[in-house]
Structure 1
C-alpha cells in the first residue's frame, strides 16, 4: 500500500505537471513536446488490461520561426504505470503514436520526446527514445534538452547555399545533409557535456541511451547512441537504421581498448566489467571509453517507406526487427501499433522498461481523412 502522505505528494506533483487536466489547450507560437514521466510506483501484472491512455503534452522552448498554433489532445490517465498517445500532422501526411510502460522494473527510467515545428520555412519533426541506466536523471535531461539544443544549433537548417570549396562542387542537398549531421553530432556532445556539468556535485553516475529520428521535409536523419534502436519498414521489409553500441562490436571494442579501456565478460560483455553498452550519455567514471558521439544514417522517405519504429531495448531484447514491423503494420493507428508492441514485449518476458514510438507515413495526399488516424 502507498502511504497517504506519499500518495498526497504524488497527486500534488501530478496536478502541477497537468496530468489531470481535461481541457483543450492552445499554445501560441511555440513548439510543443510530448514526454514520458516516471510511473507512480503502483503494482501491475500482465493480466492488467491496457484500458486507457495518458497523453502528456508539455510545451518547451523552440528555435525561431516556429510553427502555427497547435491544439493539444485531451489527456487520459491509466492506473498501471502505462502511458500512450498519438498525434497527426495538419497535412495528414504523417501520424505517430507512442507507448511507454514501466514493466517489471520497480522504477521508470525510460523517457521519450516528440517535437514538431517549422524552422526557416521547413517542416521539422523530431522523435527520440531515451533509456536511462543507474537512475533516470540522464534520460530525463535528454528529454528536456537534446532537441532544444539541436533546434538552436547555428548550422541546423540554415539557408543552404551552393558551396564551392577547394574547387570541389557540393550540391545543395549534400551541404544540407552535412549541416544536419554536424548539428546532430555537436548537439549530442554538447548536451552530454552540459549534463555532466549539471551533475558535477552529485555522487550519482547514471547514464542514458538516445535513439533519435529527425524528419526534415521528406528526408530522415537517424542518430543513435547506445542500444536503443530505430527500424523502418520499406515495402514490408524491416531495415535497421541504427546499430546497437555493444562492447563486443569489433569496432567498438577496438576503440575502447585503444583509449586504454577493457571489455570483459560479466554475464554479458561490459566496458570495464560494468556497462553493457559502449556509448552513452553520462557515465562520468567511464567517459573516456563510453562516448556520446552518435552514429548517423540518413534515408529519403519515398512511397516504399511505410513506417518507423524507435524503441528502447526493453522491446528489442524480445521482439526482433521483423516482428516489430509486422506487428506495427497490422494496426491502422500508430498509437495502437505502439501499444501492441509494448504489450507484446511484456508478454514475451521483457524484464525492462519498455518504450516505443511508431511513425506512419501517408503518401497519398488525397487520402480520405476518415481513414487517417486521429
Structure 2
C-alpha cells in the first residue's frame, strides 16, 4: 500500500494538520511526504507573522497562500532532486486540512483526493476540487503543454511520450511527467473562517473512497451513523471505509474524519 497519512498537533500555537498522501508507482514519494510535508508547512506558517483574516474585510490574507505554494514547490523540488530517475513515474497526490485556533481552516489539494464538510444544518460543502481530465482548466493546461486527453472507457491523459497514461493532473514527484511539463505540483488552496460558516465535521479521503461515493452520500452515511451511535465519533472513519468497500471500491482507501465541535 502506497497511501500514507499524517497528523500534526501543535497545542502551543493551536495548529493542527490532517494530511493524506495517495502514492503511486512506489512508496518513496508518499513516504517522504509523510515524514516531511506537515513539518515543513508548519514551520513556514510559524516563520511568517500572518494575519490570516483581516478584521476589516473578513477576507483571507493572500500572504499565507503564497507562502504555502512556495513551500509546496520547495518540497517537490527536493523530491525530484533526491529521486530523479530510478522510478520516473513514482509520485503522490495530497489533501491536507489545517485548523488554526479552532477557527481558521486552510485546505491544500494536489490531485484527486478530496475534503468534504458538513455544516451544522446538515448541508454538504465541498472543500476541494479534483484535478482530473473532466476539469476544463486542467484539460487546457495539459493541451497547452503538448499532451492530450483520450477516452478508453475513462478519461486519461497521454503525454508527449506515448507510453505515459495517468488519471491525475497534479502530483508530487513523477519526474518524467514533470520533464514533459504535463504535470505540476501547484496546489489549490481554500481558506475558511468558522465564524462565517459553522462546520460540524470534515471527511478527508483518497480517491478510492470517492470513486464509489458522492459527497452527499458520504455526508449522509456519516450523519446516519452518528444518529444511531451519537457517542461513537471515533468509529465513523472505519464505518465509512467499510461502506466504500461494500460498494465495490477496489483501490486503497485512506480516510480521516475530523470532528470540529
Aligned to 2:38: 147
Q: Deviations over 1:68-103 (max 9, x none)?
A: xxxxxxxxxxxxxxxxxxxxxxxxxxxxxxxxxxxx
- Among 170, 173, 177, the alignment partner of 1:286 is 177
Q: Alignment partner of 2:165: what SS?
A: coil
Provide the C-alpha distance between the structure 2 equivalents of 1:326 and 1:276, rounded to a whole number of angstroms.
Answer: 27
**Which runs of structure 1 show a deviation greater than 4 angstroms over 4 or more consecutive aligned residues?**
170-176
Secondary structure, aligned partner of 2:61: helix
Instruction: Choose 1 or 2 for highest CA Rg.
Output: 1
Alpha carbons 1:229, 1:244 under 8 Å: kept:
yes
RMSD: 2.2
- Deviations along 1:289-328, whole A, 9 cap, x unmatched? 1111111111122473100110001110111111211222
Q: Which residue of 1 aligns with 2:137?
A: 251
2:72 counterpart of 1:188: yes
1:340 to 229, 239, 245: 239
SS in 2 for 1:310: strand
Partner of 2:161: none
Deviation at 1:340, TM superposition (A): 0.4
Question: Does the 8 A contact of 1:160 with 1:176 survive in 2?
Answer: no
- Give 2:110's aligned residue: 225
The structure that is helix-richer by fraction is: 2
C-alpha displacement of 1:256: 1.2
Point out where structure 2 has 5 or more consecutive residues left out of the alignment: 159-163
C-alpha distance in 2, partners of 1:226/1:196? Answer: 17
* Secondary structure, counterpart of 1:188 in structure 2: helix
- Contact preservation (8 Å) 1:226, 1:244: yes
Q: Distance in 1 between matches of 2:51 and 2:100?
A: 17
**SS of equivalent to 2:170:** coil
Aligned counterparts of 2:59 and 2:129: Cα–Cα separation in 1:
25
Query: Structure 1, residues 36-68: CA drift from partner, whole Å, max 9, x if none?
Result: xxxxxxxxxxxxxxxxxxxxxxxxxxxxxxxxx
The within-5 A match list for 1:23-172 is 108-118=1-11, 122-153=13-44, 156=46, 158-160=48-50
Q: TM-score, normalised by structure 2?
A: 0.86
Kindly state the Cα deviation for residue 173 of structure 1 after the two structures are TM-superposed: 7.7
Contact 1:312-1:356 within 8 A present in 2 as well: yes
Aligned pairs, how many?
Answer: 245
How far apart are the structure 2 equivalents of 1:145 and 1:117?
Answer: 15
Q: Tell whether the 8 Å contact from 2:23 to 2:30 is kept in structure 1 after alignment.
A: yes
Structure 2 vs 1, CA of residues 128 and 266 (structure 1 numbering), >3 Å: closer, same or farther? same
